[in-house]
Amino acid sequence: MIDIALVRNEPDKVRENIRRKFQEHRLPLVDEALELDRKNREAIHQAGALRAQRNALSKQIGGLLAQGKKEEAEAKKAEVADIARELLDLEQKEAAYAEDIRQVMLQIPQMVDESVPLGRSDADNVEMERFGDPAVPPFEVPYHVDIMERLGGIDLDSARKTSGSGFYYLKGDVARLHSAVLSYARDFMIDRGFTYYIPPFMIRSEVVTGVMSFAEMENMMYKIEGEDLYLIGTSEHSMIGKFIDTILTGEELPQALTSYSPCFRKEVGAHGIEERGVYRIHQFEKQEMVVVCRPEDSMEWYRKMWQNTVDFFRTLDIPVRTLACCTGDLADLKVISCDVEAWSPRQQKYFEVGSCSNLGDAQARRLQIRAKDADGRRFFPHTLNNTVVAPPRMLIAFLENNLDADGTVRVPEALRPYMGGKARIG
């Protein structure tokens, strides 16, 4: 959510930002916000004038009573009563205008960073850099579910019976590998100075609307029937929500946090949930990183955060690349975002395994997360999030890139302490 002052002072800049995101249908929101803001400021001005008039009359009443002019004082009291009724009406209008403005502002997208490439969809995203050499082995790489089944590591048929498509049972060494990756990711981020958290896995609606757009909410979140609770789609939701209605001191910034959670997603709009695969599913686990920092430091943190994910994957012998998300592919709250994609030897292309985003002050404004310097200056901090790793999707890249011709899978040295010292599974 951007500042109404920006809409008021630079409406053309806001309109151009909407056009850059190819959301022309939202252009009328700017005029709607301007009109509501005008009415609200007019009501505030009128209320201020009435309060000044009431104060002046109150002083006159005191003077008249002191002079024994009771009838004149009573007449002034009647005027004060009339003003009180007008004030009440104006205050109710102010509250209504403020809420209307908020609802409109929630729909106006965040201002996109100038470096974000112009484009309508993810097809227009731009490759930034590659890390590691993408290789294709001299043997056929099976589909990831076939690899898992040969290792005795997955049961999709039972999951379909208990839960439907988009669910799975992991077992044996594959399940152990799944847990090992998450444990390694946890320690990897702790070693980089992040504080480890396990957050609540359900959040209230006010937190949901504070951390994401309405479209994302409808397409992602599972609602708990009969309660004001939603299952989280990522731990970023509850980690940012942790700071709702708080004032941080300057010394408390930055907050560098890494969190584990299960994630639950409806995946509405996805082109079908894979019947046999584990690429797009309703339930998975993830290690996340979240940063709350000063506005002037957020772009530096953005670069550090996606680099952390790149470094993590490279320690597991997985080639990756970074992809700058274009304007049309950015969610409404994002200033800038990039995807980390892993190499698939079977498909001979990269696929998404994580996403890093700088949301500027959008979430802070929605959730009233503020910061205060020693000199009393207040500001909205910036929030960022990034995927460290999200198995089982990451397991697809891991198994394909570490598979040998005999069907066994290499365990990189960094992961062996979490696998009981095993150098190979099969």
Active site residue 114: no
Q: Is the pLDDT of residue 274 over 70?
A: no
Q: Pick the catalytic residue: 102, 130, 176, 280?
A: 280
Cα–Cα distances in angstroms (integers) from residue 341 to residues 97, 103, 393, in the given order = 45, 35, 11
Q: Pick the catalytic residue: 86, 276, 352, 416?
A: 352
- The encoded tokens of residue 15 equal 């309109």
- Look at residue 217 in the predicted model and tell me its pLDDT: 76
Active site residue 280: yes
Query: In 3-state terms, what secondary structure has residue 262?
Result: strand
Q: Is the pLDDT of residue 385 over 80?
A: yes
Q: Pick the catalytic residue: 20, 265, 321, 365?
A: 265
Beta strand segments in 374-417, E? 378-379, 382-389, 409-410
Q: Is the pLDDT of residue 215 over 80?
A: no
DSSP string, 212-253: S-HHHHHHHPEEPTTSS-EE-SSHHHHHHHTTTT-EEEGGG-
Q: How confident is the model at residue 213 (pLDDT cuts 50, 70, 90)?
A: confident
Pairing of strands 378-379, 255-264: unpaired
Of 223, 225, 216, nearest to 362 by C-alpha is: 216
pLDDT digits (tens, 9 = 90+) for 25-68: 999 999 999 999 999 999 999 988 888 888 888 888 888 777 88
Range in 161-170, 213-222, 246-255 the model is least confident about: 213-222
Averaged pLDDT, 251-266: 95
Q: Pick the catalytic residue: 54, 298, 393, 400?
A: 393
List phi, psi (to 5°) of 184.
-65, -40
Tell me, what amino acid is at 231? L
Active site residue 19: no
Rg (the chain; Cα; Å): 28
Active site residue 204: no
Averaged pLDDT, 376-390: 96
Cα–Cα distances in angstroms (integers) from residue 240 to residues 187, 287, 334, 362, in the given order = 21, 15, 14, 11
Averaged pLDDT, 403-408: 94
pLDDT digits (tens, 9 = 90+) for 57-104: 888 888 877 788 888 877 888 888 888 888 898 989 999 999 999 999
Domains of the chain, CATH where assigned = 4-105 (1.10.287.40), 122-425 (3.30.930.10)
Which range of 17-31, 34-48, 152-166, 208-222 scores highest in mean pLDDT? It is 17-31
pLDDT digits (tens, 9 = 90+) for 180-196: 999 999 999 999 999 99
* Adjacency order of strands within the sheet including 247-249: 247-249, 370-372, 378-379
- Look at residue 276 in the predicted model and tell me its pLDDT: 61
Q: Is the pLDDT of residue 263 over 80?
A: yes
Within 8 A by CB and 6+ apart from 412, the residues are 315, 316, 317, 402
Averaged pLDDT, 193-221: 89
Active site residue 424: no
- Look at residue 378 in the predicted model and tell me its pLDDT: 94
pLDDT digits (tens, 9 = 90+) for 233-252: 999 999 999 999 999 999 99
Of 65, 3, 63, nearest to 37 by C-alpha is: 3
- Percent of the chain residues past pLDDT 90, beyond the cut: 77
List the beta bridge partners of residue 230.
203, 223
Q: Pick the catalytic residue: 298, 337, 355, 357?
A: 355
Q: Is the pLDDT of residue 221 over 60?
A: yes
Per the rule left: phi > 0, alpha: psi between -120 and 50, beta: everything else, 226 is left
- Look at residue 272 in the predicted model and tell me its pLDDT: 47
Within 8 A by CB and 6+ apart from 313, the residues are 131, 320, 340, 342, 353, 389, 394, 397
